[in-house]
Each structure stands twice: as structure tokens, then as C-alpha cells.
Structure 1
Amino acid sequence: MSGELSTNINIKEPRWDQGTFMGRAKHFFMVTDPRNVLLSSETLEEARVIVHNYRAGVVKPGLTEDELWRAKYIYDSAFHPDTGEKMLVIGRMSAQVPMNMFITGSMLTFYRTTPAVVFWQWVNQSFNAIVNYTNRSGDAPITVNQLGAAYVSATTGAVVTALGLKSLTTRLPPIVSRFVPFAAVAAANCINIPFMRQRELKYGIPVTDENGNRLGESANAAKQAIVQVVVSRIGMAVPAMAIPPVIMNALEKRAFMKRFPILNAPIQVGLVGLCLVFATPLCCALQYPDLIFCHKPVVPKLNRKEI
């Protein structure tokens, strides 16, 4: 029918060129859009139907290319790429900004007492465990033992690091102690991610050449991928956990904040959220999309000698 949308658009891949940083940044600004968390079940189901029908060669009458891509990103934000099942809300990428805004803001606000440090580090690692479970591979699922080991190890590492550094900073300027939560989160990422992806280190991950031809599995590629993920995850935390403490340290010296200390938490959470809105997609864009989660990690443009 004249004017009908072509069925040749490849919606299995991102809309923008993933070989460039800008293309990946545009992709992740869509993937991490926190507004998708608020979408109704009806909207999600409509997007699912549009995507499934389009892949089957059925185009909704009047559907435009922009509407198709919008449906694709709504679908991707809520449904698992391997199983097609609707994911837990707080485990979706679109929930990363609001969830981390609340958790990180709380870690930076309540860092002075030992019980608060332990509690918020535990909450953070529990959230990470939910995200890892939600985005587990459909082809090679993470076992309960792997999830449990990663969770216990990351939580222990984060708490020990936080409490150890907290005790060392008692004689240092107050601003230094504000960065203890960041150090704990960085340490936990260094422990958690390799644990979660230990199967890839042992058996390798699929690698392809520049034409998309699968060359096999590579343990070396898995090491590269995991390093990239660790660096990216820590990079995501830097703006949100480094900039607000400096600003809050200055604000708390002002008479206004001394008069209304109850504003400390909401201001800090707001600052963290502002940083995360930009830091999350931009740091995700430092690596290829498939390397971020545990499902189908692929390192492109490797030749046989590099496997």
C-alpha cells in the first residue's frame, strides 16, 4: 500500500551507529530514560505488539518510522532480550537513574555512623543483585550459587572497605570522609562483576569479525569485556559520588543549611540525580551495548589471531 512503512528497517540493532561514541550515547539516553519506568502496562503491551508484528512483517496502519523506533525502545526497556519476559521494574535500565539517585544520595547523606554505613552498602548491593538477576542471560543463565557468591562477596567487600576507610579518616578533614561511599562502591564493583561473569572467564564469550561473522568463543575477549564493564560502572559512580560531596561540604557551612539541616538529604539526592541523568548513558556509551549485561556479550572486530 502506498505510503506504508517499509518492513526492511532493522530494529534488532540500535537506531544509531554503535561504532561511534555519539551513536552509543544517543542509544543509551533512550535505554536509560527514567520516564519509561512510569509507562503503563497497556503502553508496554502496545509496544510489544508493534515490535513483534513488525518483525513478522505486519505493519500497523499509519505507523511512522519514529513511532516504530519509539516502540522498539519502550519494548527493550521492559522486556528481556532473550526470553521476552517482562522484567522486574527496579531491575530495568530505565530504573537505574531513580533507584541509584535514592540509594547513592542516601549513602552520601548517612555516612557518619557505622550502622548507617552498613545498612546503605547492603541496600546498594542488594539492588545490584536484583539488576544482575533481572538481566541474566537467557542462553547461559547465572546460577543461584553464582548470584549468591557475588552478592555476599560484593556486600562484604563494600562494607569492609567502607568501615576500614571510615576509621582511617577520623583524623583527616571532613571532606575526605565524604568519599568513603565511593571507594566502597568501586571496591564492590571490582569484586561483583568478575564473580558474576566467571563463567565467561572460564569458557569465553562469542566474538565476531567486522562483518558480524561468529569466529568462536574467546576467554581473552571476556577479560577485555569485564575490564570495560568494571571501568564503566566505576565511571558511572564518579560524577554522582564525587561532585555532590564537594557541593554539600560547601553548602553545609552556610547559615541557611545550618538553620534547615532537614534539607540536606533532599538536596543531596537531587544533586545525585542530576549527575546520574547524564553520567549513566554517557558512561554506558564508553563500551558496546552487549558488554554491559550478562546476556550475549559480543566483542566486535576481532580476528582469529586475537581470540
Structure 2
Amino acid sequence: MDPNLLQWRHRDQSFLSRVKTWFDLLDPSLLLSSKAEILKAHDVVGGGEKLNEKGEAAVTLSLSSFHPDSGAALPLIFRPPAFFPVSGPLVVASFLPHSGVKTALFWQFLLQSYNAGFSHVNRNTSAEKVKATSLKHLLLIASAVSYTTVAGALPQIFINRLRVRSPPLQMFCRSILPIPLSAALAFLSVFTVRNEETETGIQVFDSDGNLVGVSRAAGEKAVWDTALSRAALFGTTAAVPNLLILLLQRTRFFQRNSLLVAPCRHISAAFVLCLMIPVSFSLFSQVGTIKRESAGQELLAGAPGEELYYHRGL
């Protein structure tokens, strides 16, 4: 196992401990660290020495900057600390009540492109060390961005093309429909972008961190869990602000001050997204487990213990 992956295994004891870890790792100030600083932090993690307070800071920097499979530094905008600063404005803009289809498509394209790129960069790459990204995989990513962009703009397309003027129907298209749509598109995006893991499998390890082999079942479980966590992230981010605004619009204060509705929508969307990112990342452990008999018949003979371990990806 890579030193970063070993660190994840030691830290992923409970949901609350994972949330605490992710709150530390998502600190945007970590993006300001120089290349020399993150390389030094990675060396500290790989040194196997007992860590003091300064060493814990190095572990945090290393986990937020390096891929647990390849050990390579992650591109700056696709590191976990960059997820909220980049996706936050895109999410708020994509949830706006746009006046035209082109504007809705533009913001959906930016959001879905970033989400697909983040899923691709932070996927499990353990079975891809000897080959580059295939043309089929690139086409899958492009298709994921394309259909999620168009589907994400469907509420605005319905309003414009069907000339929806009824307030209840407009409310349904702008406030209700985006909730299941956002969750479904986030799930499908991850599942499509990381489809190769379900076909080729991912590496699994025994309890001592020794490589056992490659398992397709582990790959399917890793992709499924990550897709569910992303659906929870964007589904909740769409649900809470929209439902909150529907409730506030029934109050006399907001009926008299309708200009406050838009700022409340934007602020609540950003606030919910900010809280849900560490929560959704923590729903499943970064080092997942799978029963030995479920990992594949070819692994049964050489796999000691009842459970095998794998990197889930993000």
C-alpha cells in the first residue's frame, strides 16, 4: 500500500472521525503550499516515523495533495481543498432561475465538466499503472459531460420550449425538479466516468497491506459507493435551499421583501454545499472492505483473512 493509503486506513475508524479528517483536508489554505512543501510532507508520511504535531500537519498536506494509488501530486484545481472554491460558484450559478436556455447550458457545462474531471483525477488508478487513459475512457468522460449538461438544463428547456407561464408549473420546474435531477446526474456522472474500474477491476490488499490481486467486484463497490456519496452531496445541496425558499416565500416578511429571496437562495446553496462536502466524502471509508469470497474466485486461494481492502477513490 502507498503510505497515504495506509494513513487513510488508520484514520477511517468511524463516520465522525472521517468527517473531522475531511474538515482538515478541505482547508483551502492547503492550496497555497509550495511544491517543495508538499513533496517534503509526502516524504514525512513515507518515512514511517512516529509523528508529532508538525508531522500531523505534514500528513494532512500529503493526503490533500497526493493520489493514494500512484503517489503522484494531484493537479491543483482537482485537489480536495479546491472542490468547494471551484464548484461553489458553479453550483450557485447553475441553480439560478435563468432567463434563457443558452445561459443554463453554459453554467451546467462548467459544473459538469469540473465534476467529471474531479471524479476522473481522484478515481482508483491501481490497475492503470502500465497504461495511459484509453480513447474509450476519454469518450466516456466526454459523453458524461454532454448528457449531464443537457439534462441539467432540462428545467429551463421545459420552461422556454413549452412556454410554461403557469406559476405552479414554473415553481415545479425551478424548485422541485432540480432536486432528483441533481442527485441522479451526479450519480450517473461518477458511474460513467469511472466505468473502467468496474470492467478492469482494482487492486485489493490483505490486512497487512500486501497486494493480493485485482478484483472487479471491489471496483464495482468502489464506484457505486462514490456515486451514492456524490448523489447525496448534490441532491441535498439542491433540496435544502429550494425547499427553504418555498417555505420563506409563504411568510409575510418575504412577500413584502421579495428582493431578499435571491440572496437567501445563493447563500443557503453555498452554505449547504460547504457543509455537505465533508459529510458526503465521509459517508464511505476511503479504504473500503470487501468479503474475501465476494472479491472473486481467483483471489480465494492467496488471500488470508476474512476481508480484503481497496482504495475507494473520491
Which TM-score applies when normalising by structure 2? 0.74
| Deviation larger for 270-279 or 213-222 | 213-222
Which one of the candidate residues 226, 230, 234 is aligned to 1:229? 226
| Deviation larger for 135-144 or 20-29 | 135-144
Judged with a 3 Å threshold, the aligned counterparts in structure 2 of structure 1 residues 265 and 45 are, in CA distance, closer, same or farther, namely farther
Show CA shifts across 1:47-78 (max 9, x none). Answer: 4314415634789xxxx712211122113323
Question: 1-side partners of 2:45 and 2:197: how far apart?
Answer: 33
Paired letter, 1:185? S
Contact 1:200 1:219 in 2 (8 A): yes
- Give, in angstroms, the shift of residue 191 of structure 1: 2.9
Aligned identity (percent) is: 23
Aligned residue in 1 for 2:28:
34
Aligned residue in 2 for 1:98:
85
Question: 2-side partners of 1:226 and 1:55: how far apart?
Answer: 27
Which one of the candidate residues 176, 189, 193 is aligned to 1:196? 193
Q: Please list every run of 5 or more consecutive structure 2 residues that lacks an aligned counterpart in the other structure.
A: 297-314
Paired letter, 1:33? D
| Deviation larger for 24-33 or 265-274 | 265-274
1:110 counterpart SS class: coil
Question: 1-side partners of 2:155 and 2:254: how far apart?
Answer: 33
Judged with a 3 Å threshold, the aligned counterparts in structure 2 of structure 1 residues 257 and 121 are, in CA distance, closer, same or farther, namely farther
1:176 aligned onto 2:172:
yes
Contact 2:45 2:59 in 1 (8 A): no
- Give, in angstroms, the shift of residue 231 of structure 1: 1.0
Contact 1:158 1:185 in 2 (8 A): no
Paired letter, 2:14? T
Question: 2-side partners of 1:54 and 1:18: how far apart?
Answer: 17
| Deviation larger for 251-260 or 205-214 | 251-260
Question: 2-side partners of 1:34 and 1:55: how far apart?
Answer: 24
Question: 2-side partners of 1:180 and 1:231: how far apart?
Answer: 19
Which one of the candidate residues 19, 25, 28 is aligned to 1:25? 19
1:303 aligned onto 2:292:
yes
Q: How many residues align?
A: 283
Q: Please list every run of 5 or more consecutive structure 1 residues that lacks an aligned counterpart in the other structure.
A: 1-8, 291-298
- Give, in angstroms, the shift of residue 235 of structure 1: 0.5
- Give, in angstroms, the shift of residue 259 of structure 1: 5.8
Which TM-score applies when normalising by structure 1? 0.75
RMSD value over aligned CA atoms?
3.5
Question: 1-side partners of 2:154 and 2:54: how far apart?
Answer: 50
Paired letter, 2:36? E
1:14 counterpart SS class: helix
Aligned residue in 2 for 1:124:
111
Judged with a 3 Å threshold, the aligned counterparts in structure 2 of structure 1 residues 214 and 56 are, in CA distance, closer, same or farther, namely closer
Paired letter, 1:116? T
